[in-house]
Structure 1
């Protein structure tokens, strides 16, 4: 088992976990319920963590995470056809279905 992701937000960790599992990788969530121990234990030791069960899936999981983070850092775009603002993750305009140029 190897850890592939950790964050203070359980919401973000669960989101990444779901995306990794959608790629066919079996994961384990560690420290899911340790937030209440903050103060008794180091804050960083309480962050939820995603671990892959098979070491052979480690690199594949890191690629999946990198792709997610790349999408999150992209800028929104304006459709050349209708002028509508679209989220960076959209490849097609939600308003007119015109492809991103």
Structure 2
């Protein structure tokens, strides 16, 4: 098993778990209930961890996460130059649609 993702926010770990499982990559969540040990252990030692069940899935999992990261970046409108948030599919200033990723 290989560690693929860890974060202090369990919801973010669950989101990554969901993305990977939709892609057919099996995962296992560790430290699910470890936050109760905060204070006895260093904070980052009790963060939820997401592990790949099969080592051979590492490259594909990294690709899925990289694609998800690209999806979450702001984008610049090619028509008016407005900086738009990642959640927008259309420029809020001029209405032009978001350019497709190459």
Per the alignment, in what secondary structure is the counterpart of residue 24 of structure 1?
Answer: coil
Give the conservation status (yes or no) of the 8 Å contact 1:77–1:88: no
- Give the corresponding residue for 2:74: 75
Give the alignment's TM-score, normalised by structure 2: 0.76
Per the alignment, in what secondary structure is the counterpart of residue 29 of structure 1?
Answer: strand
Per the alignment, in what secondary structure is the counterpart of residue 50 of structure 1?
Answer: strand
**Unmatched 5+ stretches in structure 1:** none
Once the two structures are TM-superposed, the CA of residue 67 in structure 1 deviates from its matched residue by 1.6
Give the alignment's TM-score, normalised by structure 1: 0.77
CA distance in 2, matches of 1:70, 1:36: 34
**Unmatched 5+ stretches in structure 2:** none
2:65 paired with 1:88: no
- RMSD across aligned positions (CA): 2.7
Give the conservation status (yes or no) of the 8 Å contact 2:31–2:47: yes
> Following superposition, which runs of at least 4 residues in structure 1 exceed 6 angstroms of deviation?
none
Give the conservation status (yes or no) of the 8 Å contact 2:74–2:84: no
CA distance in 2, matches of 1:58, 1:5: 11
